[in-house]
Amino acid sequence: MSMTRKDRAKIVIAGGGLVGAMAACFLGRRGFEVEVYERRMDLRAHDISAGRSINLALANRGIYPLEQLGLMEKVREMMIPMCGRMIHDQKGEQNFQPYGQREEEVIYSISRGDLNRLLLDAAEETGNVSFFFEHRVESVDFDSNRVVFVCEETGSEKSVVFDRLIGADGAGSRVRQALVSAQDGRDYLQPLDHSYKELEIPAGNGGAFQIEKGALHIWPRGGFMLIALPNMDGSFTVTLFLPNQGAISFDALQTRESVFEFFEQYFPDVDALMPGLVDDFFSNPTGKLGTVRCEPWHLGGKAVLIGDAAHAVVPFHGQGMNCGFEDCAVLDECIAEFGADWERVFSEYDRLRAPNGNAIADMALENYIEMRDSVSDPEFLLKKAIGFG
Ligand code: FAD
């Protein structure tokens, strides 16, 4: 698409997480003037976490947009292939289930922070993208096309005029709330009665992986489970998914003894590999999970939602980021097809993507419910342990 001066709209993106940063890459590459406003500090300059889950499973649907942006050469250096699931039963027996026979039937463990940094750099390298960190969306006025941001450092307000607004501000999106209420749409957040906590299996001597490196590890226990993904430094990020309340729940794990006994009983083969388990359990936050559905995903030719802002899903398929990356590629294809007809661009993107987002959300929830309800069927648990990949 060749662009005229008139086409070069100023695009404001709210949120510079994985999906907002990728959208900035696509739009910057097309020559738009892009401003990204991100609530957190610049994680390239500050030693802060990139948000939820330290590492993620990157799958083919997320790789394709990275390829289109020409970033896969660099991303490949950060990826650890996981060729299948390693299921750990309660006796400590392991059962490896390959994802498939073909080479491409593999998913990859990747650091959220490293991938986010790479995307921020790539967006800046287009020469058309400016980042404003520590700026939080406070309100949006679609009559005057203005967003009010609050600077997290000083508390001062800044009003920014946009031609197009992209909401990439995650599950609790302020842009989504404004977009939906401006047109009497629907916005529905369905909280899950399970939460998660991240723990760690540190690297062994000389940076050795203490369990099989090339697998996504799962300890399915029916109503709850543990998973682990490898990191480049030889450690594993371990995530415990557990009900919020009940006999076996986060609520029931209030003392050091109870945490120790819980892991001894249900995950005896892994607790020996986590010397910092109990300290980590009490110092790391407990993360909430939920599903976001909304309708529509756009407001005329003014605004559109991408990533978790449009479709946060529970992580039992490992597809949230992958799906968000796909949103960016489809939005870019719509721009290529419909050029400066933004109403058409956004409505076509909405038509193509919303059914997909809803389907992934349903699949992730179904998988969770099936797992939860099938406590007594070990065969089922082995097969359906988790949908990652
Ligand atoms: P976010 O990552 O939430 O980023 C939103 C950004 O907007 C953040 O940087 C935030 O600081 C910023 N922001 C928020 N509010 C404002 C505001 N008011 N103003 C300005 N900025 C704001 N997906 C996978 O594909 N594979 C996996 O293996 C996987 N594992 C997961 C494991 C867990 C435990 C969880 C919780 C999720 C997992 N996901 C996975 C899902 C994945 O994390 C999300 O889908 C992905 O992070 C979505 O990216 P995003 O940029 O849309 O949203």
Residue 31 maps to which CATH number? Answer: 3.50.50.60
Average pLDDT, the chain: 91
Q: Is-contact 86 95, C-beta < 8 A? A: yes
Residue 245: give the domain boundaries.
190-288+372-384
Residue among 12, 13, 18, 134 to mutate when testing ligand 1 (max atoms within 8 A of CB): 18
Q: Is 95 a domain residue?
A: no
Tell me which H or E stretch contains 10. strand 10-14
pLDDT tens-digit map of 17-28? 999 999 999 999
Question: Tokens 């709210």 map to which residue?
Answer: 14
pLDDT at 377 over 80: no
Q: Is the CB of 298 under 6 A from ligand 1?
A: no
Closest residue by CA, ligand 1 atom 46: 321
Distance 18 CA to ligand 1 centre (A): 7
Q: How far apart are CA 231 and CA 211, in angstroms?
A: 12
Q: Is 5 a domain residue?
A: no
Q: Is 2 a domain residue?
A: no
Tell me: do 136 and 47 sit in the same domain: yes
Q: Is the CB of 228 under 6 A from ligand 1?
A: no
Q: Is 43 a domain residue?
A: yes
Strands 84-88 and 215-220: parallel
Tell me: do 198 and 175 sit in the same domain: no
Tell me: do 153 and 205 sit in the same domain: no
- Whole-number pLDDT of residue 372: 58
pLDDT at 101 over 90: no
Tell me: do 62 and 197 sit in the same domain: no
Question: Tokens 């976490």 map to which residue?
Answer: 49
Q: Is-contact 36 129, C-beta < 8 A? A: yes
pLDDT at 4 over 60: no
Q: How far apart are CA 314 and CA 321, in angstroms?
A: 11
Q: For the chain, how many structural domains are there in total?
A: 2
- Whole-number pLDDT of residue 232: 95
pLDDT tens-digit map of 39-62? 999 999 988 766 667 899 999 999
Q: Is 105 a domain residue?
A: no
Tell me: do 170 and 231 sit in the same domain: no
pLDDT at 389 over 60: no
Q: Is 247 a domain residue?
A: yes
Closest residue by CA, ligand 1 atom 4: 17
Q: Is the CB of 308 under 6 A from ligand 1?
A: yes
